[in-house]
Amino acid sequence: MQCVINRRAQFSASHRYWLSELDEQENRLKFGDCTRFPGHGHNYVLYVSLLGEIDSYGMVENLSTVKRVIKEEITSQLDYCYLNDVWEEFQDSLPTTENLARVIWQRLAPHLPLVNIQLFEHPQLWADYQGNAMKATLTIQTHFSAAHRLALPELTLEQNSEIYGKCARIHGHGHNYHLEVSVTGEIDPRTGMLVDLGILQQVVKDYVVEPFDHTFLNKDIPYFAQVVPTAENIALYIAQLLQTPIQQLGAELDKVKLIESPNNSCEIYCRHLPQPPESLASRQPILVGTR
């Protein structure tokens, strides 16, 4: 019987985004505040996932061994270090979240049966790497607040209440939605990035957060005049909105997760998502400034 086990580890380290072939203005334009000397730090959280058969001792791997390997190969070398200098892999490539996850995999793979490396730079930014050459997944988290009412327009209040309960009440109700957007792509061997993080964050802000935040979805977002704004439908619509602009960044939309409340969330897996309707594909974002 195969099983996946996960081991958590932590380290604190600093890094700086700076390419020697670019001048100061070009670096600032490309990397923003991340170019500041002498760098900035993060409290990284690392999840190492292992796949294997459950042995006669009831284990996939002895966790004491796993803990020792992670410490020797990763955390003891990275903790309280400047990532740009600590490993040779970062002499010619920047230690971005996704690139660091990739290199951690390479250093652990000879010792452990890896199935996934997940690295959190902070709670709203993390990367997953599964040993697929230069391909990785990057996830950002954001939030917006909105109200909605769950009701089909052709049904009576009583009929809608039977289906949606209190959510059918005519004045609606609100949520603080948390949104996770995951994109997948090839890590650039020089910048260490699979996508420009600042532009990705701006796209999500322009296409989703600004239009949705502090609205009554049923009335303020035309799409939901006829479509019931359940968490599932909202997540699907967000995926359709983001699909084309993320492709234009050179990445692929991998997953949209919408957390409506601590008890209710949904996920849309987007790799086989149909192309959005023309009305969505050509929609222009609300511009709110640049990085």
Instruction: Give the residue numbers marked as catalytic.
Output: 167, 214, 260
Provide the b/e sequence for 96-105 (b: ≥16 CB within 10 Å): bbbbbbbbbb
Determine contact, residues 64/70, Cβ cutoff 8 Å: no
Distance CA(243)–CA(271), nearest Å, equals 10
